[in-house]
Amino acid sequence: MLHLLPRMPPGTVGVEAVGNVSEEDYRQVLAPALAEALQRREVRLLYVLGKDFDSFSARGTSETTKLWAKHLKDWERVAVVSDADWLENTAGLVSRLVPGQVKVFETDEIDEAKAWLVGITLDDD
């Protein structure tokens, strides 16, 4: 399931994947949440794979791919938050295929991910 994250910086959208993410989750949660950003052609998305995340359905993955492809030039930044090692390589591949930037953050770096979406670097003091 996907659910919207509260307290996101202005101009950004945040979602968290928990359990199994289905085609309906993309249609009912992600697509409507991104509609305004897609109209502005300025998508900045925080995508958190929660600790209870299990899998994406094949049809859900297909829906995401269609959304990306249809609006390829509209993606400015995508921050993926997860401790899954395989995401580093996947994000690197995706970032070569899309004009925008894709970056993976560890689960304890969610504030850094939000800041990166809007172009701010947080200093470690």
The per-residue pLDDT for range 73-88, each reduced to its tens digit, is 777 899 999 887 776 6
pLDDT of residue 105: 93
**At 3, is the secondary structure helix, strand, or coil?**
strand
Q: Reading across the β-sheet that carries 43-56, which strands appear in turn? A: 2-4, 13-21, 43-56, 75-81, 101-105
pLDDT in tens, 44-75: 999 998 778 776 666 656 666 666 666 567 77
**At 47, is the secondary structure helix, strand, or coil?**
strand
Counting residues of the chain whose pLDDT is more than 90, the rounded percentage is 31
pLDDT in tens, 22-38: 888 888 998 898 888 88
The rounded mean pLDDT for the chain is: 81
* Of 97 and 110, more confident: 110
pTM summary value:
0.82
Q: Could you tell me the CA-to-CA distances from 124 to 20, 82, 105 in Å, in that order?
A: 35, 20, 15
* Of 99 and 62, more confident: 99
Residue in 84, 58, 68 with CA at minimum distance from that of residue 30:
68
Name the CATH topology of 2-117.
Transcription Regulator spoIIAA (3.30.750)
* Of 97 and 116, more confident: 116
